[in-house]
A and B are shown apart, each in its own frame.
Chain A
Amino acid sequence: MLDATNRPFESLPNRPGVGYKPQHYSDILANSGSVDWLEIHAENYMGDGGRPIAQLRHLAERFPVSVHGVGLSIGGEAPLDTDHLARLKHLIAWLKPASFSEHLAWSTHDSHFLNDLLPLPYTAQTLDRVVRHIDQVQAAVGRRMLLENPSTYLAFAETEMSEIEFLSAIVARTGCGLLLDVNNVFVSATNQQTDPVSYINDFPVDHVGEIHLGGHDEDSDDHGAPLLIDSHGREIVDPVWTLYAHTIERAGPRPTLIEWDNDVPDWATLESQAARADRILTKISA
């Protein structure tokens, strides 16, 4: 029998969402403003019970929820951690989220989890590995995943294809979708001294199921070149908003997440960032 209450939200709306922080729980329930959906980090909801799970159950009855994994290490040389994959499968099975995404990065090696999204070279060999891992993940959780483009601070001498060629090949071989982080595009293009607009123009936008926007910090490298750090700790800068508007013009409206994970602001500040995304989405889709 079809149980509609069991799966209230089949997909994310082409509207603003925010990364959920427990300190905003009451504010969100009282008045979510421009925010129409929520994203959680999968790993924070892999405990056995208690408040995190109870809050998530309550929110998921009211908002579409996106599960965003940060610990799977899809770009890792090592086989995927099957215990972690089982935990992810369990979370997705009971929550039935509107979307599930992970990163083109690695974080686990030699059974050490480094809690950061580390870069990988783009070669035929690493492509095979990532494709294998994504096939394994999609088979385990029983649904299509979105893969997020990384923010990078350095390059690999061994790299033999562009990030877009790499991502496009992954999509073609695995059938996964993409999560386009526009701040990561801006950060990586600045750090790699390439053009962020060309990146967006070349991006396979038909496969984009979600967009991320976030704040970054500014630093410089050993030679004085700008080095942007993807910190998720402040407001989104104007050039990233401009790049976002360009992305929406090209791709059409997409579910758009405001990511603010460090120095988390009050709800009003976070909601105002979502409202700004809302204005761009509304203007361009009108």
Chain B
Amino acid sequence: MTTGQTDFTRAILDPDLAVPPGLIDPQGRPAGKRFAVYRNNVAVSLTEALETAFPVVRKLVGDEFFKAMAGVFLRQHPPVSALMMHYGAEFPDFLETFPPTQSIGYLPDVARLEQALRRSYHAADASPIAPEALQDLPPDRLMAARIELAPAVFVIRSPWPVHALWLANTVDGAPKPQMRPEDVLVTRPRFDPSPALLGPGAADFLAAIEKRGTLSEALDAAGDGFDLGALLGQLLAGGAITGISEGT
């Protein structure tokens, strides 16, 4: 009698399956509850990994609901690598289709923001440029230049007030979220990622920058109502600009 790891894995992830044969107690009787220890270890450790990754989603839906939902998610999407810091990549999409959360429209984008914060936390280090490097450039040369953003920079665009929702659930006394679309910039000054609200057009501007557009091209993409000075201030404060290149 051999007990393969395929059967073992299936039974770990599906509590409705019988304990695989060949697993025994010291008297040779079926392992029963002894197997349940492994089942429980797996479910608890993966649930905790999701709780660590998505504290605001957890706060929004409540502990008990989150645990139950994590139990469903971890069986549909067991980790694909041993790096728990990356676990839950499919969680935002899961929230969109999981029947009990389907109607909570903002939840997936809140999860996406939390995921961006986590990725930012573990992103590669990079040295930000000094603000003078931008300020000293004559306007025509600045507009023809390209800027490089730090690996810890992320942009989340949402039809929901994700930044306000995040603040309201992490900062005491934060204002109540008002229904409106919000774009969020995540930067990591030194080690702690921080989300900031982006002004009109800024997310379009940053999308153009990500595609290696010049500042002038990005400005065109941003359209009317975009405040370049305000965005550059946000980027510099967040240590988000790591290079300026002129020409080509």
Contact = CB atoms under 8 A, between A and B. Distances in A.
Contacts of A115: 42, 45-46, 49, 79, 82, 84
Interface stretch (A9-17, A69-77, A242-250): A69-77
Interface stretch (A39-47, A140-148, A266-274): A39-47
B197 to A, nearest CB: 23
Interface string A102-113: 000011111111
Interface of B is mostly: loop
B151 A153 contact: no
A43 B84 contact: yes
Given A50-B125, A113-B78, A116-B42, A221 B25 contact: yes
A54 interface: yes
Given A221-B33, A222-B33, A76 B5 contact: yes
B6 to A, nearest CB: 7
A83 interface: yes
B124 interface: yes
B26 interface: yes
Nearest to B3: A156
Interface stretch (A164-172, A196-204, A223-231, A251-259): A223-231
Interface string B1-15: 111111011001100
B32 interface: yes
A48 interface: yes
Contacts, number: 154
A50 B121 contact: yes
A285 to B, nearest CB: 36
A109 B191 contact: no
B198 to A, nearest CB: 23
B1 A111 contact: no
Given A52-B122, A77-B6, A116-B38, 14 more contacts: A44-B85, A47-B121, A47-B123, A49-B125, A50-B123, A109-B8, A112-B9, A113-B82, A118-B5, A153-B38, A222-B25, A223-B29, A227-B37, A229-B37
Ranked nearest first, the 8 interchain pairs of A and B with the lowest CB-CB distance are A71-B82, A47-B122, A48-B124, A49-B125, A51-B191, A154-B31, A112-B78, A154-B34
23 contacts: A47-B83, A48-B125, A48-B151, A50-B123, A50-B152, A70-B82, A109-B8, A109-B9, A110-B6, A112-B9, A113-B81, A114-B42, A115-B42, A115-B84, A116-B41, A118-B5, A121-B3, A153-B34, A154-B34, A219-B37, A221-B33, A225-B25, A227-B33
Interface of B: 1-6, 8-9, 12-13, 21-29, 31-35, 37-38, 41-42, 45-46, 49, 78-85, 120-125, 151-152, 188, 191-192
